[in-house]
Amino acid sequence: MSTETPQPPESELPEQMRVRLAKRADMLAAGVEPYPVSVERTHTLREVREAHPDLAVDVATGELVGVAGRVMFLRNTGKLCFATLREGDGTELQAMLSLALVGEDELARWKASVDLGDQVFVHGEVITSRRGELSVMADAWQMASKAVRPLPNTHTELSEEMRVRQRYVDLIVRPQTREMVRRRAQVLRALRDVLHGRDYVEIETPILQLLHGGATARPFVTRANALDQELYLRIALELYLKRAVVGGVERVFEINRVFRNEGIDSTHSPEFTMIEAYQTYATYDDIADVTRAMIQAAACAVFGSTTVHHVDGSVHDLGGEWRSVTLHGVLSDTIGTDVTPDTPIADLREIAVKNDIELKDGLTAGEIVLELFEELVEHTLVAPTFVRDYPVEVRPLTRQHRDDPRLAEAWDLYVFGTELATGYSELVDPVVQRERLTAQSLKAAAGDPEAMQLDDDFIRALEYGMPPTGGMGMGVDRLLMTLTGLGIRDTILFPLVRSE
- What residues make contact with RNA under the rule CB under 7 A? 14-16, 19, 58, 73-80, 82, 84, 94, 96, 98-100, 112, 115-116, 129-133, 135, 150, 152-162, 164, 215-218, 260, 262-263, 265-270, 272, 418-420, 450, 475, 477-478, 487-489, 497-500
**Least distance CB 371 / RNA (angstroms):** 9
Question: In the complex with RNA, which residue's Cβ is closer, 8 or 132?
Answer: 132
Burial of residue 389 (number of CB atoms within 10 Å: 0-12, 13-18, 19+): buried
**Least distance CB 480 / RNA (angstroms):** 11
Secondary structure (3-state) at 67: strand
Question: In the complex with RNA, which residue's Cβ is closer, 217 or 335?
Answer: 217
Question: In the complex with RNA, which residue's Cβ is closer, 18 or 198?
Answer: 18
**Least distance CB 301 / RNA (angstroms):** 22
Q: Rounded CA gap, 16 and 116, in Å? A: 11
Question: In the complex with RNA, which residue's Cβ is closer, 246 or 325?
Answer: 325
Question: In the complex with RNA, which residue's Cβ is closer, 147 or 299?
Answer: 147
**Least distance CB 199 / RNA (angstroms):** 27
Q: Rounded CA gap, 24 and 148, in Å? A: 8
Is 64 within 8 Å of 123 (Cβ atoms)? yes
Q: Which of 272, 310, 275 is nearest to 495 (CA)?
A: 272
Question: In the complex with RNA, which residue's Cβ is closer, 32 or 158?
Answer: 158
**Least distance CB 490 / RNA (angstroms):** 11
**Least distance CB 465 / RNA (angstroms):** 29
Is 233 within 8 Å of 207 (Cβ atoms)? yes
Is 120 within 8 Å of 147 (Cβ atoms)? no
Q: Rounded CA gap, 496 and 268, in Å? A: 11
Q: Rounded CA gap, 465 and 426, in Å? A: 13
Secondary structure (3-state) at 110: helix
CB pairs under 8 A, 24+ apart, for 182-188? Answer: 183/302, 183/480, 183/483, 183/484, 184/480, 184/491, 184/493, 186/298, 186/301, 186/302, 187/298, 187/301, 187/302, 187/476, 187/479, 187/480, 187/483, 188/255, 188/476
**Least distance CB 91 / RNA (angstroms):** 14
Question: In the complex with RNA, which residue's Cβ is closer, 129 or 364?
Answer: 129
**Least distance CB 370 / RNA (angstroms):** 10
Is 453 within 8 Å of 464 (Cβ atoms)? no
**Least distance CB 411 / RNA (angstroms):** 13
Q: Which of 340, 369, 375 is nearest to 357 (CA)?
A: 375
Question: In the complex with RNA, which residue's Cβ is closer, 357 or 432?
Answer: 357
Question: In the complex with RNA, which residue's Cβ is closer, 121 or 390?
Answer: 390
**Least distance CB 111 / RNA (angstroms):** 8
Is 241 within 8 Å of 253 (Cβ atoms)? yes
Question: In the complex with RNA, which residue's Cβ is closer, 116 or 249?
Answer: 116
Secondary structure (3-state) at 247: coil
E strand spans, 295-359: 307-309, 315-317, 323-326
DSSP string, 413-462: EEETTEEEEEEEEB---HHHHHHHHHHHHHHHHTT-TTSPP--HHHHHHH
